[in-house]
Amino acid sequence: MNAAKRLEIFRRLHEDNPEPKTELAYTTPFELLIAVILSAQSTDVGVNKATAKLYPVANTPEAIYALGVDGLSEYIKTIGLYNSKAKNVIETCRLLVERHGSQVPQTREELEALPGVGRKTANVVLNTAFRQLTMAVDTHIFRVSNRTGIARGKNVVEVEKQLMKFVPKPYLLDSHHWLILHGRYVCQARKPRCGSCRIEDLCEYKEKTSDD
C-alpha cells in the first residue's frame, strides 16, 4: 500500500471520529491499567460491568491489594480467567505500592515487569493514559492491518513496527483506537462489512463482501 492511500484512510477515520477513545471505562491511569489486565481474552463490556462494581469500593493499589485474591475474585468472577487475573492484579498492586509509590510507571520496561502486563497492555497504558506514541496491536488491529494492506506482518510485533513506520505522523497517536474500532464493528473476523466500510475503495482486501 502506498503512502497516499494510507493518508486518505486515516484522514477518513479521523473525519468520522475526531477524538477516538478506548471503550474501557476508567478515570485514572491505575484504573485503566487494571481494566486492560482484566480485558485479556474478555470483552470491554464484560470488564466494564465488573469494574463498575469494583472501583467504587476499591480503585487504588492499596485498596485493591487489601481485598486479597479471594476478595477481588468476587468482583471479577464474571470475567474469563478471573482466578489468574486476580492473582496478577493483587501482585501488581503490591509492586506498585512497594516500588512505584502507588503510581503507574510510564515506561514499557517498568510496566512489563508487572504481573499480567505484556507488550500490548503496556502500549495501551502508555498511549491512552500518558499519550505516548505507542502501538498496541490486538487481534482486531492485526487482522485489519493485514487484511487492508495498511501494514502486513506475520506476528503482532511485526505489525506494530510496520504501523509505527507507515501510519502518517499526524494520525499516529490515535491510530490504534481507530483500527480497533474498525475491526470491532466493520472489518469483522468472520465476515467483514465491506458494504458499510468507509475505506472500502482504498482497502486492498481481494475478497470483498456485501452486507446482505
Print the SS3 string covering 59-86: CCHHHHHHHHHHHHHHHHCCCCCHHHHH
First to last CA, the chain: 28
Residue 79, φ and ψ in degrees, nearest 5 = -95, 140
Percent of the chain with pLDDT over 70: 99
The total of other beta-carbon atoms located within 10 Å of residue 205's CB is: 16
Confidence of residue 209 (pLDDT cuts 50, 70, 90): confident
What is d(CA 198, CA 212) in angstroms, rounded to the nearest whole number? 17
| Summary mean pLDDT of the chain | 94
Query: Are the C-beta atoms of 45 and 52 separated by less than 8 Å?
Result: no
Whole-number pLDDT of residue 110 = 97
The pTM for the full model equals 0.88
- pLDDT of 212 reads 58
**What sign has the CA pseudo-torsion 22, 27, 33, 39?**
negative
Binding-site annotation, residues for [4Fe-4S] cluster: 187, 194, 197, 203
What is the predicted pLDDT for the residue at 41? Answer: 84
The set of catalytic residues is: 120, 138
d(C-alpha 156, C-alpha 212), whole Å: 32
What would the mean pLDDT of 165-191 be, rounded to a whole number?
94
Distance separating alpha carbons of residues 108 and 118, to the nearest angstrom: 9
Say if residue 182's pLDDT is above 70. yes
Percent of the chain with pLDDT over 90: 91
Write the pLDDT tens digit of every residue in 96-115.
Answer: 999 999 999 999 999 999 99
Q: What share of the chain is helix, strand, coil (3-state, %, to 5)?
A: 60, 0, 40
Alpha-carbon distance of 139 to 188, in angstroms, equals 11
pLDDT in tens, 6-37: 999 999 999 999 999 999 999 999 999 999 99
Residue 210 has pLDDT above 80, yes or no: no
- Write down the residue that cell numbers 483506537 correspond to: 177
Q: What is the pLDDT of residues 137-170, one digit of tens each?
A: 999 999 999 999 999 999 999 999 999 999 999 9
